[in-house]
Structure 1
Amino acid sequence: MNALTAISLASPDLATAWFRDVIAAERNALSRFLRQPMAEVSDIVALLAHQARPIVLMGVGKSGHVAAKLAATFSSLGTAALFVNAAEAAHGDLGAVEAGSVVIILSNSGATDEIVRVMPLLKARGCTLVGIIGRAHSPLARAVDHCIVAAVECEADHIGMAPTSSTTLHLAIGDALAVAVSRARGFTREDFLRHHPAGLLGRQLIPVSSLMCQGDAIPKVATATSLVDLLAVMSSKRMGAACVVDPDDHLLGLIVDGDVRRHIQAGGDVQAASAGAMMQPRPQVIGLDATVGDVLLMRGNGAKRWLVLPVVDDAGRLCGLLHTNDLMQG
């Protein structure tokens, strides 16, 4: 066992303190950056927002990893982007860079050899160069057309050498640019979902009308329906619920299994019980033109938890019934 391990085992809170110190140092780097002038930002956002060609992000090492992530973020938010590793650029990957492209260069030192070597090649292609650079008076900061100086006082690790505070700051700046450009382009939530056709994100575009039960499959009853007949409808339709409607199918209320149990447990007259007496009036509903994403957003905004959700048209007529399990279909 080395001395460091012995210290950590002898002091259970020490590891937590080290952990918090890193988070605090990276937070301080972000706070310090926000206090500096940002004269270049609006010009850079406008430049990126008007690009028809894919934006190129370039870096090496840890900055390269950040650049690759940012290329994915730009693309997800509606701005086509690609990552080029500067170390590979001089060995053929420069072919991915179209003439006249905007290239965003990430470098903490501002003197990364691999990037310095390709700068003349990028300029020869008529590229506009944007830098996220850690040192204001470095070769790369002087060479780019637009520069965001992303300096940190120190890295967050205990020896002050590992890219930590600097990569966090560069990542945050890149994210901020991607979001600002996306907003400038009028990119919407629906656009975002169309960029993510797989998994839960993709399912959010599915209309509820394609998942809901409808027609004869909807468990629906009148207000005067007896408890015995209500239970027969609920059992046959296997939704654990029934919608209460008027003769024109306008939704009046909703009954779930729990409503029936509570009525019986409260000592209600089982023989005289009617659907109208047990229903929840004015239940939560969703519109016929809604998507799964709208339903999930409603749930995320603190709406009451539900097992089934009636789907109604603009006139309040019942069109279908959506079960919570249906959200995971498609």
Structure 2
Amino acid sequence: MNALTAISPPASDLATAWFCDVVAAERNALSGFLRQPLAAVADTVALIARQARPIVLLGVGKSGHVAAKLAATFSSLGTAALFVNAAEAAHGDLGAVESGSVVVILSNSGATDEIVRIMPLLKARGCSLVGIIGRIDSPLARAVDYLIPAEVEREADHIGMAPTASTTLHLAIGDALAVAVSRTRGFTREDFLRHHPAGLLGRQMIPVASFMRQGDDLPKVTPSTSFVDLLAVMSSKRMGAACVVDADDQLVGLIVDGDVRRHIQAHPDVHIATAGEIMQPSPQVIGTEANVGDVLLMRSAGSGSWLVLPVVDGSGRLRGMLHANDLLQG
């Protein structure tokens, strides 16, 4: 039996304690950062927000991985950004850095050889240098134009050497910069969705008119519709609901399966009932100009857990109906 197989796995409570130690150490790194003066933050946000050319995120190793992620975050929030690996910069990748660009440098030690080596070249190009640096007395910290100190008391791993708390802090600082710049620029939710045309995010920009049931597929009755005819409409249209409209197609109510069951329980002689007696008056609706993202936001904001949703125009006339399953398909 070798040494590895001879080691017994730690008890579950001990493993959980180790796990929590790491989370606590990274939380403490974030809390410690917020307790220090943040003198350079406002100037850094203003600097990035007024840039027309892409900003550059520069790093190597674990800091390089963080820089790459932050470049993607800046871009998705409306600030064009690109990542340059400092180890490759001296071998041609520095050509991606335009004169006068804002360069955000990530380094925990502040003495990363690959970055120190190209600093004179960045300065010669008139770049504005922002540093997210772990050591304020380091060469890189002294060389940048805007310094955001990112020192941590200790790394979160058990030997205190693996980039853990430091990379978490760098990531949080970068995310905070990206969001603050985005808000400064007036970047909106609609802008964000236009930056994400694929997948679920992209689907959110699709108008509700593309999904709603309309025409002959729309379950629609009047307040005087009899109980029997109401059931026939609800069954034939297969939406588990019916919209109640007046003679001008103004929406006056909504009936779902639950309304029918509750009315039956309360009024055994249901054959004399009409749609107007069963309906929910003034139901929740959405406008024809809305998109799928508006619908999902309405649900997440606690505006009802609906299965069907009438779609009305600016005058309150019924134009269609959405079924939650339609939004989840495709």
Hey, what does 1:78 align to over in structure 2? Answer: 78
Distance 1:7 1:307, change over 3 A: closer
| Secondary structure of 1:115 counterpart | helix
2:132 is aligned to 132
- Partners of 1:173 and 1:305 in 2: how far apart? 36
TM norm structure 1? 0.96
Q: How does 1:168-179 map to 2 (within 5 A)?
A: 168-179=168-179
> For residues 130 and 240 of structure 1, what CA distance do their matches in structure 2 show?
58
Corresponding residue SS for 2:252: strand
Mapped partners of 1:76, 1:175: distance in 2: 11
Q: What's 1:6 paired with? A: 8
Q: Which residue of 1 aligns with 2:256?
A: 256
RMSD: 1.5
3-state SS of paired residue (1:322): strand
Alignment-mate amino acid for residue 116 of structure 1? V
Give the secondary-structure state (helix, strand or coil) at the position aligned to 2:161: coil
**Which amino acid letter does the alignment assign opposite residue 244 of structure 2?**
V
Instruction: Provide closer, same or farther for how the CA distance between residues 161 and 3 of structure 1 changes in structure 2, counting only shifts above 3 A.
Output: farther
- State the Cα distance separating 1:122 from its structure 2 match: 1.1
Deviates more, 1:190-199 or 1:119-128: 119-128
Q: Secondary structure at the match of 2:272?
A: coil
Residue number in structure 2 paired with 1:55: 55
Tell me what 2:271 maps to. 271
Answer with 129-138 or 301-310: which moved more: 301-310
1:37-186 equivalences under 5 Å are: 37-186=37-186
Which residue of the partner structure matches residue 225 of structure 1? 225
Distance 1:5 1:267, change over 3 A: farther
2:141 counterpart letter in structure 1: A
Give the Cα–Cα distance (whole angstroms) in 2 for the partners of residues 154 and 247 of structure 1: 73
CA distance in 2, matches of 1:216, 1:325: 19
Write the letter of the residue equivalent to 2:205: L
Distance 1:143 1:260 in 2: 73
How many angstroms apart in 2 are the aligned matches of 1:309 and 1:75?
Answer: 35
| Residue identity opposite 2:259 in structure 1 | D
CA distance in 2, matches of 1:46, 1:3: 56
Summarize deviations over 1:137-185 as a string: whole Å, max 9, x none.
1011111111111000100000000000100000000001001111111
Matched to 2:35, the amino acid is R
Q: Distance in 2 between matches of 1:272 and 1:90?
A: 85
Per-residue CA distance 1:62-116 (angstroms, 9 max, x = gap): 0000000000000000000000000001111111111111110000000001111
For residues 177 and 19 of structure 1, what CA distance do their matches in structure 2 show? Answer: 29
> What code does the residue aligned with 1:114 have?
E
- Deviation, 1:3, is 9.7
Q: How many residues align?
A: 328
Question: Are residue 205 (structure 1) and residue 213 (structure 2) matched?
Answer: no
- Measure, in 1, the Cα distance between the counterparts of 2:7 and 2:39: 48
Written as runs of structure 1 = structure 2, the 5 A alignment for 1:319-330 is: 319-329=319-329
Q: Return the TM-score normalized by structure 2.
A: 0.96
Q: Quote the Cα distance in structure 1 between the aligned partners of 2:35 and 2:75.
A: 29
User: 1:239 aligned to 2:262?
Assistant: no
- The CA deviation string for residues 221-272 of structure 1, in whole angstroms up to 9 with x for no partner, is 1111111111121222222211011111111111112222332344521320
Which shifted more, 198-207 or 255-264?
255-264
| SS state at 2:297 partner | helix
Partner of 2:239, secondary structure, is coil
Look up the SS of the partner of 1:147 in the other structure: strand
* Matching residue's letter, 1:61: G
Runs (4+) off by over 6 Å: none
**1:284 offset after TM fit, Å?**
1.2
Which structure 2 residue ranges, 5 or more long, are not aligned? none
Q: What letter matches 2:114 in structure 1?
A: E
Whole-angstrom distance in 2 between the partners of 1:59 and 1:256: 57
Distance in 2, matches of 1:102 and 1:225, equals: 68
Q: Deviations over 1:11-34 (max 9, x none)?
A: 321111111111110111111110
2:305 matched residue in structure 1: 305
